[in-house]
Structure 1
Amino acid sequence: ELGAASFVNNIFALAIISGMGFAYGLTPVVGELYGKGELAASGRALRCSVFANTCAGMLLTAALFIVYLNLERLKLPEELLPLIKPYYGVLLASFIFVMIFNAFKQFFDGITDTQTPMWILIGGNLLNIAGNYVLINGKCGFPEWGLLGAGISTLCSRILMVIVFVGVFMKSARFARYKVGFFRLELSRKMFRRLNTLGWPISLQMGMETSSFSLSAVMVGWLGTIALASHQVMCTIATLAYLVYYGMGAAIAVRVSNFKGHHDWVNVRRSAYTGFHLIMVLAILFSSSLFLFRYQIADLFTDSKEVTLTVVSLVLPMLLYQFGDGLQITFANALRGISDVKPMMWIAFIAYFVISLPAGYIFGFILDGGIVGIWMAFPFGLTSAGGMLWYRFRGQTRRKHRDT
């Protein structure tokens, strides 16, 4: 069941991150309108975003369904298919709710109400954990559904989170002016186009970043099971740091978009650089902890000495790319905040597909560096992405400041 869950979750992770990137297109729009005090227009933007995210969700669901129809052609172990198919099908049914949740979350972030999404997300995750325990193990009178139970629990928690978001928006008096725009103003084609224009480049940028790690896992797989297990452990640790940094990055996007609404380009730049300094503080704390407790952290994931030693050997390349990761997260979100997202697509392609992946193959196989060589490519890819994003942000904000 663990192998089946890992396969399905890896496929859906790429779709979820791409969908999340699409939803990020709403944040600068709402943040700018909120900064101008146009609350009714912000409500209309939410309505357009729900519609746009539903359409994008249907496209991604169709793509995932095509994968589902071709599972037998992927040469998976025969014993996994009876476990994979029902679990995949239930998660497929839940995907559209993920997209609607993203629309509401980015709206709340854009109006600087980040606590409501946080509590809804925490509540949904706690419900999912409890549901997993009950449905996987057959507690409280339910049958023992195993992996299918985990999927049903995820579906229920995602539906409930959307219901709670809608309930908060509809019932709370503080959203009265937003609801005027949500219900009374016409659905704007111009706004719908703008959300798509902003959302798809961000989606592709985040998708390419994620797929670079996924494709690196394929190269790691050529080195054997110990290397692959070590890679999975390090990816789990790296994801934790990435999500912490991205929380700060989301705040940067909101503040930058707010100041852009006022045409205050001095504070646009100040917000981005202050955010970068805060992310660097987080990176130093994370890196110090990882280096000091590298053996203990590795032991949390495995009992294998070989895997532990391989994980420890990957700590150095991970530490080296923390600066680049923080840099690219900061200025990707700063560019989101000023709605300059199309160049991010090409920057991501160059950094991850032209630099990082070929470098991983060269370091890992031509120079015989093994898994450490593959991971040594990540600092080059992430730092080059961060440098190009910073250069773009610096040039755009300087020009805007001169023009105003």
Structure 2
Amino acid sequence: MSNHKHLSLFALTWPIFIETLLYMLMGSADTLMLSHYSDQAVAAVGVANQIIFLVIVMFDFVAMGTAILVAQYIGAKDVKNTREVALASISANFFFSFFLSAILLLFGKQLLYAMKLPDELLDEAYSYLAIVGGFLFVQALMMTAGAILKSHGYTRDTMYITVGMNILHIIGNYISIFGPFGLPVLGVKGVAISTTISRIIALIAIFFLLAKRTNLIPSLSRFAYLPMHHIRSLLKIGIPAAGENLAYNTAQMVITYFITWMGTEALTAKIYTQNLIMFVFLFGIAVGQGTQILVGYFVGAKQYEQAYARCLKSLYSAISISIAMAFTCYLLAEPLLSFFTHNKEIIEMGKTLLLLTILLEPGRSFNLVIISSLRAAGDVQFPVYMGIASMWGVSVALSYILGIYFGLGLIGIWISFIADEWLRGLFMLWRWRSKAWCHKSLVQFPVGTT
């Protein structure tokens, strides 16, 4: 087991930053490479991925609960329960993901019909969905094993695996789409096979490192190991977190629907601007995840003052860097936006939104860091209730009132984002300072128990 006392936030965070960045960039790789094959292929894979991404979110709640519980047990120096939670989470996500993978394989065509997919796209979309979706349990196992490694402090290992997986994926895509050396061009089916093979190789690598770093060796006989008290703890953390993510994504869908009323240029400006600010809040995501691991250690060891101070130090760092990065984006707004478009109106609109982003991102930092810390401490209900109330009562409501009713357009939408992030953020800060989370740890036993 790792000696967490020697882990710094920076050592945990920078590999998470690189790994998350790679996942975001690779989300565009298939689209860019398939665009050289055919526009229909891009559309087919895009629709299939909407279903796949929704299923992956459902796997993530087990991985999130795993990361927090393992960190708490490591902090409590409880080797037995650390191993039990890790095995239980791998088993639970395997059975759950295998069931969902089978549904995608058997009923993928019906799901695509339900999405009103045009007939000319159906065959390619189903080909991709059947291959990638049918093996999606591999991704679920990777996410769970990765969460266990990260909680032990081995964030570099998961980063290296992600780098290797993405290199294999790009090579496979190139062979499938361009057919070098006289090889057959497989198109969408080849991209799906490339995705699946790269994930299988990455899963083998991550299980090898899991055994090497933690002496945890998952086997077929252990997949049936499901102690219900650990499963209940995983669900107690994971389900509220999944509910919060679902509330956020559905709220964003409604707001995007409002923006479609404003016209194509407004929608385009929003997409381009969010593509840029994605790299701003990526740092906050990484700091939040790194802080979550450290706070989990401290809470498991019942070192509440250290947990309290760690969260606030991380918050100040995230706010400072997010302001600096947002300000830099604004200063470089014209050349950055010109990379996407030469439409002057879209560029001017984007510049205004990037100026407002200087106010938006510090508020988002509160939520990315403090919510992760509250979850790590076992305080999972408050962020969900506050999040749903603010996302819908402030963000969605103000988007309509300011953006549509008062005709402020995207400026009104961005003001609603700012109000939502800051309101939630300040409530989260109040909650953290109240220390109500101190007695919500899911690890209830004296330090040193083994």
TM-score after normalising by structure 2: 0.80
Q: How does 1:283-298 map to 2 (within 5 A)?
A: 283-298=322-337
Structure 1 unmatched runs, 5+: none
1:248 deviates by: 1.0
What is the RMSD computed on CA atoms of the aligned residues?
2.9
Alignment partner of 1:167 out of 208, 221, 246: 208
C-alpha distance in 1 between matches for 2:96 and 2:426 = 30
User: Within the alignment, does 1:23 sit opposite 2:69 as a pair?
Assistant: no
User: Within the alignment, does 1:128 sit opposite 2:169 as a pair?
Assistant: yes
1:121 deviates by: 1.1
C-alpha distance in 1 between matches for 2:181 and 2:342 = 33
In the superposition, relative to structure 1, how do residues 388 and 80 fare at CA in structure 2: closer, same or farther (>3 Å)?
Answer: farther
In the superposition, relative to structure 1, how do residues 48 and 4 fare at CA in structure 2: closer, same or farther (>3 Å)?
Answer: same
- What is the aligned residue count? 399
In the superposition, relative to structure 1, how do residues 111 and 332 fare at CA in structure 2: closer, same or farther (>3 Å)?
Answer: same
CA deviation string 1:16-58 (max 9, x = no partner): 3453244111122111111122223212211111122234435
* Counterpart for residue 43 of structure 1: 83
C-alpha distance in 2 between matches for 1:378 and 1:297 = 22
In the superposition, relative to structure 1, how do residues 184 and 63 fare at CA in structure 2: closer, same or farther (>3 Å)?
Answer: closer
C-alpha distance in 1 between matches for 2:272 and 2:328 = 16
Q: How does 1:254-269 map to 2 (within 5 A)?
A: 254-269=293-308
Q: How does 1:105-254 map to 2 (within 5 A)?
A: 105-170=146-211, 172=212, 174-176=213-215, 178-179=216-217, 187-254=226-293
1:285 deviates by: 2.6
SS in 2 for 1:23: helix
Is residue 291–residue 310 contact of structure 2 (8 Å, CA) maintained in 1? yes
Alignment partner of 1:337 out of 371, 376, 397: 376
In the superposition, relative to structure 1, how do residues 376 and 136 fare at CA in structure 2: closer, same or farther (>3 Å)?
Answer: farther
> Which shows bigger deviation, 291-300 or 383-392?
383-392
C-alpha distance in 1 between matches for 2:94 and 2:422 = 34
Is residue 52–residue 195 contact of structure 1 (8 Å, CA) maintained in 2? no
Is residue 21–residue 204 contact of structure 1 (8 Å, CA) maintained in 2? no
> Which shows bigger deviation, 343-352 or 389-398?
389-398
Is residue 277–residue 326 contact of structure 2 (8 Å, CA) maintained in 1? no
SS in 2 for 1:155: helix
C-alpha distance in 2 between matches for 1:88 and 1:114 = 30
In the superposition, relative to structure 1, how do residues 149 and 55 fare at CA in structure 2: closer, same or farther (>3 Å)?
Answer: same
SS in 1 for 2:240: helix
1:115 is matched by which residue type in structure 2?
R
C-alpha distance in 2 between matches for 1:68 and 1:289 = 46
C-alpha distance in 2 between matches for 1:183 and 1:62 = 21
1:249 is matched by which residue type in structure 2?
G
In the superposition, relative to structure 1, how do residues 227 and 10 fare at CA in structure 2: closer, same or farther (>3 Å)?
Answer: farther
* Counterpart for residue 348 of structure 1: 387
CA deviation string 1:207-247 (max 9, x = no partner): 32233223322222233332222222223223333332111
CA deviation string 1:147-203 (max 9, x = no partner): 443332222222221111112223x2x423x45999699642111111111111111
1:113 deviates by: 1.4
Alignment partner of 1:96 out of 131, 137, 148: 137
C-alpha distance in 2 between matches for 1:115 and 1:355 = 38
TM-score after normalising by structure 1: 0.88
Q: Percent identity?
A: 22
C-alpha distance in 2 between matches for 1:184 and 1:55 = 8
SS in 2 for 1:278: helix
